[in-house]
């Protein structure tokens, strides 16, 4: 588990807010892409494999970004 | 709400006895060119890192390094998403030729999906077009299918081996019973 978000100042809160808004866009777009793949794709097996692989990648990158966010000190 | 089915037909309305002759995607070089553009965006990351190290080394020291690292992480997240979208758009855009019809499944964007189909009996003219150096060398181009009574043409964009596709469609048309063919 990555460390829970603990704002240390107003600047950090604003930075975190911007980060989470950008991340929400990323998550929304990712889910739409995966839905389109599973909904319209010819092979469900390929769709599921690609989705699982992408979700693992995206979760890892998101976790790394959260750690970077929490490492910033004002 | 639609749940994915494991056993599903290739396109809506597909008949059990319908024989599928060809399933087409865009030519691989078109996909490769899109991946090349994606790689250019990926290269910006390394280029940016080099520029910062060479010209603005202060950004490699605290507290700036934290912001740079966060920016890079978010950029990589969107890069990964970009690659997924490139592949999904390639995978979902297909053309199918069966012994009864031609089906064009187009994914214009992630939320814009269209399926057009044309019965072989309504075909009036089929044209294959190969143009450009890459198109000629790698044998890819467009196939235009003109329908009876329609002003709009059915177009297969940047498909491999367009002449063979044109011939296949015309051969399938010729195999139709005479009473099914378009009256001239």
Q: What is the pLDDT of residues B3-29, one digit of tens each?
A: 555 446 777 777 878 888 989 999 999
Cα distance between residue A13 and residue B31, in whole Å? 41
Strand partners, B144: B127, B155
* Angle at which helices B64-92 and A10-40 cross, to 10°: 10
B178 confidence band (pLDDT: 50, 70, 90): confident
Per-residue confidence (pLDDT) for residue A6, from 0 to 100: 63
Q: Which residues of A are less than 8 Å from B84 in CB distance?
A: 30, 33-34, 50, 54
* Nearest-by-CA chain A residue for B86: A33
Mean pLDDT of the residues in chain A:
88
Per-residue confidence (pLDDT) for residue A36, from 0 to 100: 93
Q: Cβ contact (<8 Å) for A37 and B88?
A: yes
Per-residue confidence (pLDDT) for residue B122, from 0 to 100: 85
Q: What is the pLDDT of residues A37-54, one digit of tens each?
A: 999 888 889 999 999 999
- State both tokens at A43: 């092979």
ipTM for the whole complex: 0.87
| Nearest CB to A26 within list B78, B91, B111 | B78
| Nearest CB to B92 within list A23, A41, A45 | A41
Cα distance between residue B156 and residue B22, in whole Å? 13
Per-residue confidence (pLDDT) for residue B110, from 0 to 100: 86
Q: Phi/psi of residue B6, each to 5°?
A: -80, -35
A-B CB pairs within 8 A amount to: 84
């Amino acid at each position: 588990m990555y460390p829970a978000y603990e704002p240390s100042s107003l600047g950090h809160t604003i930075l975190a807010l911007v980060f989470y808004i950008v991340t929400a866009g990323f998550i929304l777009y990712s889910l739409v892409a995966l839905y389109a793949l599973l909904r319209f794709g010819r092979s469900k097996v390929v769709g599921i494999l690609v989705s699982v692989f992408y979700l693992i990648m995206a979760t890892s990158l998101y976790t790394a970004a959260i750690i970077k966010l929490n490492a910033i000190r004002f | 709400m639609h749940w994915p089915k494991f056993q599903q037909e290739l396109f809506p309305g597909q008949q059990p006895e319908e024989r599928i002759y060809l399933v087409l995607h865009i030519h691989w070089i078109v996909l490769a060119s899109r991946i090349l553009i994606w790689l250019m965006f990926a290269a910006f990351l390394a280029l940016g890192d080099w520029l910062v190290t060479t010209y603005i080394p202060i950004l490699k020291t605290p507290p700036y390094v934290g912001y740079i690292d966060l920016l890079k992480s978010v950029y990589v997240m969107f890069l990964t998403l970009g690659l997924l979208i490139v592949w999904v758009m390639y995978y979902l855009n297909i053309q199918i030729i069966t012994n009864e019809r031609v089906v064009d499944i187009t994914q214009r964007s992630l939320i814009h999906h269209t399926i057009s189909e044309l019965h072989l009996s309504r075909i009036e003219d089929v044209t294959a077009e190969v143009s450009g150096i890459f198109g000629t060398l790698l044998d890819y181009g467009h196939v235009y299918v003109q329908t009876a009574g329609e002003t709009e043409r059915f177009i297969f964009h940047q498909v491999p081996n367009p002449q063979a596709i044109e011939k296949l469609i015309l051969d399938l048309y010729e195999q139709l019973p005479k009473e099914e063919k378009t009256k001239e």
